[in-house]
Amino acid sequence: MGAMTRWLDEDEQRTWRAFLAASRALMETLDRELQRDAGMPHAYYEILVRLSEAPRRRLRMSDLAEASGSSRSRLSHAVARLEAAGWVRREECPTDRRGQLAVLTDGGFAALTAAAPGHVEGVRRHLFDALSPAQVDQLRRISDTLVDHLTGS
Amino acid sequence: MGAMTRWLDEDEQRTWRAFLAASRALMETLDRELQRDAGMPHAYYEILVRLSEAPRRRLRMSDLAEASGSSRSRLSHAVARLEAAGWVRREECPTDRRGQLAVLTDGGFAALTAAAPGHVEGVRRHLFDALSPAQVDQLRRISDTLVDHLTGS
DNA sequence: GCCATTTAGTTGAACGCTCAACAAAACCGC
DNA sequence: GCGGTTTTGTTGAGCGTTCAACTAAATGGC
């Protein structure tokens, strides 16, 4: 049988609800800004960023999914949209006939270049401007710990 | 004209990406667990929680939207689903003829009672078990600061 | 070499969210 | 109390995500 539930004490409750509210509000704000100013959701922006940083601006679908924290299905649908927008195109993978490469087009790079300053400014305004340098450091350590914990088990 | 973009330095970049990855992974994990074990997304769980904590287990739609961090439209759609599941019902508001009250049904309360232990265990395992007490405290302060910053401006 | 297993990627349906438009009632100044 | 404004809540379309089912190609054992 399952062990007895380890309920949250009052401090944990407060922390969890605050974290939930903060991350939700931050993500929604940035997503809305990006949609308004650049016509793309944040998930698509991140796909373009990862492609722009890759050698020859191309990545295998699986690697892109991993890099952008996305499921394969999600990425497949997303790339279909990005392809329709002319920002990405697909290429056959030369070494694996199952594979597909997502390639950032010049138009996609231009869209990213246009979107980036506004988005970065949003991240700064809504996140970093609110926190002290010490808090930024704490947040990085906490986040790294959580990622390790979540992807390691 | 706009000011020059204040780009992120390397530490900020790392912090932002880690935070993004951590909160996304955490939310997706908890959402998936809740969907699998209780047949509801996390947003719906939170609506049921807020209702269960309200006097007489009922709230005005607006107040419920505010409490659960949801837009009115989103809440309206969500309550329609929850009503179809028999977990919530709507009542006319006696003091404002525009108003609607969302009321948690016995079935809804039972569904919440069934879902809570597993979900709380998930929050503990994926969040609190990974962090030191000091980090939990830091995370609460950071989150409170961000919420204030985001909703105050 | 052959068959079973694993991996890569896609597809379609169901679902939840966003946005803009809308209807109805309450509020407010006069 | 009348008329404009604000507030409350809903609606439908469009979009992005999830999940499960699927195809096709690579891999590994024998």
CA dist., res. A69 & res. B140, Å (int): 25
Instruction: Name the more confident of A3 and A123.
Output: A123
Q: Is residue B6 part of a domain?
A: no
Q: Name beta bridge partners: B101.
A: B60, B91
Res A75 pLDDT > 60: yes
Which token pair is A106? 């010049």
Q: What are phi and psi of A9, to 5 degrees?
A: -80, 180
Closest CA to B133 of A82, A102, A15: A15
Q: Provide, rounded to the nearest whole percent, the portion of chain A with pLDDT above 70.
A: 97
Query: What pLDDT score was predicted for residue A5?
Result: 81
- Mean pLDDT, chain A, as a whole number? 96
Residues of chain A neighbouring B24 (CB-CB closer than 8 A): 69
Neighbours of B76 (CB within 10 A): 14
Would you call A71 helix, strand, or coil by DSSP? coil
Q: Is residue A4 part of a domain?
A: no
Give A54's Cβ-side CA count (13 Å radius): 22
**Residue B64 to residues A18, A136, B44, B95, B109, Cα–Cα distance (Å):** 17, 32, 12, 17, 16
Question: CATH no. for residue B93?
Answer: 1.10.10.10
Instruction: Select from A5, A6, A7, A19 the residue whose CB has the most chain B CBs within 10 Å, as the one to mutate to test that interface.
Output: A19
Q: Is residue B3 part of a domain?
A: no
Chain mean position to CA B51 = 12
Q: Is residue B74 part of a domain?
A: yes
Instruction: Name the more confident of A152 and B99.
Output: B99
Res A2 pLDDT > 80: no
In this complex, the residue of B127, B129, B145 whose CB is nearest that of residue A16 is B127
Q: Is residue B61 part of a domain?
A: yes
CA dist., res. A118 & res. B23, Å (int): 22
Residues with CB under 7 A from strand D: A 40-41, 43-44, 70-71, 73-74, 77-78, 81, 96-98; B 28, 32, 35-36, 60-62, 65, 72-73, 75-77, 79-80, 90, 93, 96, 98-100
Per residue in A17-64, pLDDT tens?
Answer: 999 999 999 999 999 999 999 999 999 999 999 999 999 999 999 999
> A6: pLDDT confidence band, cut at 50, 70 and 90?
confident
Q: Is residue B115 part of a domain?
A: yes
Interchain proximity A8–B144, CB inside 8 Å: no
In this complex, the residue of B16, B18, B146 whose CB is nearest that of residue A130 is B146
Q: Is residue B10 part of a domain?
A: no
Query: What pLDDT score was predicted for residue B2?
Result: 62
Q: What is the 3-state secondary structure (H, E, C) of chain B?
A: CCCCCCCCCHHHHHHHHHHHHHHHHHHHHHHHHHHHHHCCCHHHHHHHHHHHHCHHHEEEHHHHHHHCCCCHHHHHHHHHHHHHCCCEEEEECCCCCCCEEEEECHHHHHHHHHHHHHHHHHHHHHCHHHCCHHHHHHHHHHHHHHHHHHHHC
- CA→C1' distance for A32 and C18 (Å): 9
Res A142 pLDDT > 70: yes
* The model's pTM: 0.94
Instruction: Tell me which amino acid residue A103 is.
Output: V
Res A124 pLDDT > 60: yes
Give the residues of chain B that fall short of pLDDT 70: 1-3, 153
Query: What pLDDT score was predicted for residue B1?
Result: 62
Q: Name beta bridge partners: A92.
A: A100
Based on the number of CB atoms within 10 Å of its own CB, is A87 exposed (0-12), middle (13-18) or buried (19 or more)? buried
Tally the domains of chain A: 1
Query: What pLDDT score was predicted for residue B113?
Result: 97
Q: Is residue A116 part of a domain?
A: yes
Query: What pLDDT score was predicted for residue A1?
Result: 62
Q: Is the distance between the Cβ of A90 and the closest atom of strand C smaller than 7 Å?
A: yes
Give the structural domain span for A93: 22-152
Based on the number of CB atoms within 10 Å of its own CB, is A35 exposed (0-12), middle (13-18) or buried (19 or more)? middle
To the nearest whole Å, the CA of B55 is away from the closest chain A CA by 20
In this complex, the residue of A138, A143, A150 whose CB is nearest that of residue B126 is A150
